[in-house]
A and B are shown apart, each in its own frame.
Chain A
């Protein structure tokens, strides 16, 4: 079954708007939650990541919000730009085990100029 559930599947946002992508997980052993950005024909690229000991992490226009009790985390893209149009994947893993990353099914973001 899907270890990490991601929504929405696709998202269209006006330039300058806020893009929000949500993910939920069940396994409370997960302790590392990265987000990946993928452009067509390219491999996923690490965008930003968070550990469960903090509720928010911000890097430039990208922010992860983390709710440990609800087992949910989300990516917020502020002032969305056409260059942000890509597919975004959330993921979860357990550190220090060399273990696998469990990915969400992806969100295709289109930012309209």
Chain B
């Protein structure tokens, strides 16, 4: 698992509530990513980070924000959850300096009701 821990693993929340997902890595890898996985879409990048306080948007960033105040933690926040954000969320890290060799966490299944 390359030392990646996602929490929580499952969550059910109500529409309009804020939700924060956490990704923790045990190594000091530079690159971290948040993806969502939906049937028929594969994995789509939400946000990524290339260092502490250095983050950028991916292709499906609307409705999401991220923060990285420490190398080991990358937080994904849904400011006001909507049903369209029901998905499985994966955190990934890249262990190579080139940005290659991405390793994924176990995922968080989020249901917005």
Contacts and interface: CB of A to CB of B under 8 A. Distances in A.
A49 B101 contact: yes
A95 B100 CA distance: 6
Contact of B100 (A34, A42, A105): A34
Interface in B16-58: 30-31, 33, 35, 40-45, 48, 50, 58
B106 interface: yes
Q: Is the interface of A mostly helix, strand, loop or mixed?
A: loop
Q: Which of the four size classes fits the interface of chain A?
A: 20 to 34
B42 A43 contact: no
Interface residues of B, number: 28
Given A43-B106, A45-B104, A93-B99, A98 B42 contact: no
Contact of B48 (A32, A96, A98): A98
Given A6-B42, A44-B43, A103-B43, A96 B99 contact: yes
B104 A106 contact: no
A42 B106 contact: yes
Contacts of A44: 43, 90, 104
Interface in B64-113: 90, 92, 94, 98-107
Interface string A80-113: 0000000001000111111111111110000000
9 contacts: A34-B101, A42-B106, A43-B106, A45-B104, A46-B102, A46-B103, A89-B43, A99-B48, A101-B92
Interface of B: 1, 30-31, 33, 35, 40-45, 48, 50, 58-59, 90, 92, 94, 98-107
